Structure 1
Amino acid sequence: MCNLVFFSRLPSETKEILTMNPKLTKYQEKQLCSFLGKVKLRLLYKASVHTFSGTVFHQICDNQGPTISVGYNSSGFVFGGYTSKDHDVAKNGQFIHDDNAFLFSLKLKNSVKYPVINFPNAVKIHHNCGPFFGDDFVLMYDNTAIAVSKPGSHYNFNAAEMHGNNLNLSECEVYKVEEFITLEKPWRTILWETERRAELMESIKLYKPTISSVGQARVLLIGPVGSGKSSLFNSINSIFRGHVTSQAISGSSGTSVTIQFRSYSVKDGRNGKPLSVVFCDTMGLEEGRDAGLHEDDLSSILKGHVPERYKFNPLAPLQADAQGSQQTVELQDRIHCVAYVMDTCKVSVMSTKLLEKLAAIRKSVTLLGVPQLVVLTKVDEACPWVADDLRNVYESQYIKTKAQEVSCQLGVPMSCIVPVKNYSEEVELEMNCDILLLSAVIQMLRFADNYFDDVSDQGKQD
């Protein structure tokens, strides 16, 4: 599930861009979606961000269509209600007919759904209250962090079972429920077979750069903080190691975990020889010019001047002629392909400053003639339907839309965008995950060959 955006329905003088992290776990989201079918949830309102206010709830959540409202208490209960109808403060004091409404309580096992029993009075609108289900259940009563629970007349539920009789809310969230639009035809054809996995692995093992003086193709990973650059290498390395491993430091810090320039070879097994591909990891991109990877450092990396384990300093980028930089540079030291690693969940919420920085970087890379592609990570978090089955990735309209959005933002064709899922929670390899990752590596090597071809052609002209 994505980290989400915005305060879109507040008055203009109070609008601001906000980043909200859903409190719902992936497992809890999956439980809720199982009640509703093929849907995904998009966070609209979070009380700890927007305040425990029924008034603000209506400003943000009215006329959004179907919504799931979730309450949390200090006893660990997660509970709430669903309506397929609009909340609309203009109907203050009125009941809304909804055959599909229900209340729920989420548990590790045996989560409970309580269907509406009085359809005409399923939902009530009150300007000072949050989500109001019949006269039985309210979240954020009278602009406070309090729930109201009176089972019986509209919904038949057990209060102790539902929320443990603890009506003090520690958090309240409202999610827009959106149906998945599946494509009639996948936007890219891929074979999900064990044999295909083996073929991809063998192709990568046998790969050799087309220029004999270059032993390994060097792929530079660039991306915003938290996009999954280091995890991408770890995931690819895991496939060839035969188990999930973590060589490159990765994490979810708000600032870059990678602070040094590192190049990582992929080995064919634990004691095997290095393959003919090297992944170069950089400091993550951040909004400010004086934060994250500096554009001047990027230029030095592309040209091969940055030594191994060079410590990045956003305030003082390495100069090509500075002490410690590599003065003598061969073709094998340069970067042969750039892969922009982007979090699918954050494609729509990248700031203008970050997009401007990416545009400047892309321009620099283009001027040096280095081929570029985009790796979309966390496709499972972006689309629960894909999380259920990774083979749905090319049938998901949502993932295709995100790819098209990235295509427009960075000015790269769709053919240069590859979706993947990194290994994050898993401890065992999974075939479909491997196939996406290996397919991405194949594209990187093809792009590196394009670079070598250009070098060879230039040499013939000279």
Structure 2
Amino acid sequence: MGNYSSKPTMPPSPPAASKELKDPWRPVKWSEKQELLKELEHLKPRLEPLRILVQGPVGAGKSCFINTVQRVLLGRNVSIALESSTTAIQGESFTLSFNPRGPIAKDDKRYNPRPSPGDRIHCLVNIVPADAISRLDDSVIDKMRTIRKKASEWSIPQVIVLTKVDNACEIVSQDLRKLYHSKKVKDKVEVSSHKLGIPLNNIYPMKNYHAEITEDTNVDVLILMALRDIVNFANDYVESMYESSDCIQS
């Protein structure tokens, strides 16, 4: 009776999974830049300078990270630190340094078999690109893990700075304050933790200054959060060396 269609009614398609979390998986106070700067300014390390070893694959953003740190601390644009540079960059109470060459040989006249606390590395910073972490060659990861293993033998604290988050996630590219709401960035943090064996709470996703010539407070806050912890980890390590019974006083 009547002209009714016999075609079955299709159920509605399920909504696409959201790429953004309702609540951040790590809280950030985006207005605390001055407080973070004061924390670093008032830090009185046991040893000066603190020495930070930076390692990472070519193009990961090592030099950009160093430049960004300098820029945030100085409050102005800075000249470029080249990836091949072996010169230490001095801060008020710490040093960011890296050397792309291999380990020094024991028969080298400069080799120091009994380094003082001031001669040692106090924190290892692994620079990893968020937009390429899954595609990094195994040989690169193996080299980084070898250095990390040696650092672990000396109980040197280690962190990952996960750069280029804006390239890895469109949401973050549009609004950096969405960083810790991004499922994609959270996944990248977990992948980098798995590949290098470093705990999640020692991984700091961020954006470096690159082409920008003006200040971005959101970039600054992320850098300062990471830098505060790196400097404190390094200082804690120095304190532990001085407290150790086999420590050689400088």
Give the TM bin, normalised by the shorter chain.
0.7 to 0.9
Q: Give the conservation status (yes or no) of the 8 Å contact 1:244–1:426.
A: no
Question: Quick one: which of 39, 53, 57 aligns to 1:203?
Answer: 39
Which stretch has the larger CA shift, 348-357 or 216-225?
348-357
Confirm whether residue 244 of structure 1 aligns to residue 82 of structure 2.
no
- Cα 1:461–1:435 change in 2 (3 A) is closer
CA deviation after TM superposition for structure 1 residue 232, in Å: 0.6
Hey, what does 1:379 align to over in structure 2?
Answer: 165
CA deviation after TM superposition for structure 1 residue 180, in Å: 5.3
Q: Give the conservation status (yes or no) of the 8 Å contact 2:55–2:144.
A: no
Distance 1:247 1:321 in 2: 34
Identity %: 30
Normalised by the length of structure 2, the TM-score is 0.86
Question: Quick one: which of 200, 204, 208 aligns to 1:414?
Answer: 200
- Cα 1:461–1:391 change in 2 (3 A) is same
Confirm whether residue 233 of structure 1 aligns to residue 71 of structure 2.
no
Confirm whether residue 426 of structure 1 aligns to residue 243 of structure 2.
no
Q: Give the conservation status (yes or no) of the 8 Å contact 1:219–1:339.
A: yes
Q: Give the conservation status (yes or no) of the 8 Å contact 2:52–2:94.
A: yes
- Cα 1:180–1:227 change in 2 (3 A) is farther
CA deviation after TM superposition for structure 1 residue 179, in Å: 6.9
Hey, what does 2:176 align to over in structure 1?
Answer: 390
Distance 2:114 2:193 in 1: 36
Hey, what does 2:229 align to over in structure 1?
Answer: 443
Partner secondary structure for residue 278 of structure 1: strand
Question: Quick one: which of 149, 173, 186 aligns to 2:24?
Answer: 186
CA deviation after TM superposition for structure 1 residue 265, in Å: 1.1
Q: Give the superposed CA RMSD.
A: 2.1
1:358-408 alpha-carbon deviations (Å, 9 max, x no partner): 222211110011100000001111112111111111110000000000111
Structure 1's unaligned 5+ residue stretches are 1-177, 250-256, 267-274, 284-292, 298-317
Hey, what does 2:130 align to over in structure 1?
Answer: 344
Distance 2:113 2:146 in 1: 25
CA deviation after TM superposition for structure 1 residue 246, in Å: 2.3
- Cα 1:454–1:328 change in 2 (3 A) is closer
Q: Give the conservation status (yes or no) of the 8 Å contact 1:230–1:281.
A: no
Confirm whether residue 279 of structure 1 aligns to residue 96 of structure 2.
yes
Confirm whether residue 222 of structure 1 aligns to residue 55 of structure 2.
yes
Q: Give the conservation status (yes or no) of the 8 Å contact 2:21–2:183.
A: yes
Q: Give the conservation status (yes or no) of the 8 Å contact 1:321–1:327.
A: no
CA deviation after TM superposition for structure 1 residue 450, in Å: 2.6
Distance 1:180 1:450 in 2: 40
Matching residue's letter, 1:231: C
1:20-39 alpha-carbon deviations (Å, 9 max, x no partner): xxxxxxxxxxxxxxxxxxxx
Partner secondary structure for residue 244 of structure 2: helix
Normalised by the length of structure 1, the TM-score is 0.48
Q: Which has the larger radius of gyration?
A: 1
Structure 2's unaligned 5+ residue stretches are 1-15
- Cα 1:328–1:455 change in 2 (3 A) is closer
CA deviation after TM superposition for structure 1 residue 262, in Å: 2.0
1:183-207 alpha-carbon deviations (Å, 9 max, x no partner): 12211101111xx100111111121
Partner secondary structure for residue 96 of structure 2: strand
CA deviation after TM superposition for structure 1 residue 455, in Å: 1.3
| Greater length-normalized contact order (CA 8 Å, ≥ 6 residues apart) | 2
Hey, what does 1:15 align to over in structure 2?
Answer: none
Distance 1:376 1:353 in 2: 19
Q: Give the conservation status (yes or no) of the 8 Å contact 1:418–1:440.
A: yes
Q: Give the conservation status (yes or no) of the 8 Å contact 1:386–1:392.
A: yes
Confirm whether residue 265 of structure 1 aligns to residue 90 of structure 2.
yes
CA deviation after TM superposition for structure 1 residue 241, in Å: 1.9
Hey, what does 1:333 align to over in structure 2?
Answer: 119
- Cα 1:362–1:405 change in 2 (3 A) is same
Partner secondary structure for residue 93 of structure 2: strand
Q: Give the conservation status (yes or no) of the 8 Å contact 1:263–1:279.
A: yes
Q: Give the conservation status (yes or no) of the 8 Å contact 1:231–1:422.
A: yes
1:82-105 alpha-carbon deviations (Å, 9 max, x no partner): xxxxxxxxxxxxxxxxxxxxxxxx
- Cα 1:457–1:323 change in 2 (3 A) is closer
Q: Give the conservation status (yes or no) of the 8 Å contact 2:117–2:241.
A: no
In the TM superposition, structure 1's runs of 4+ consecutive aligned residues that sit over 6 Å from their partners are: none
Partner secondary structure for residue 357 of structure 1: helix
More strand by share: 1
Partner secondary structure for residue 147 of structure 2: helix
Hey, what does 2:144 align to over in structure 1?
Answer: 358
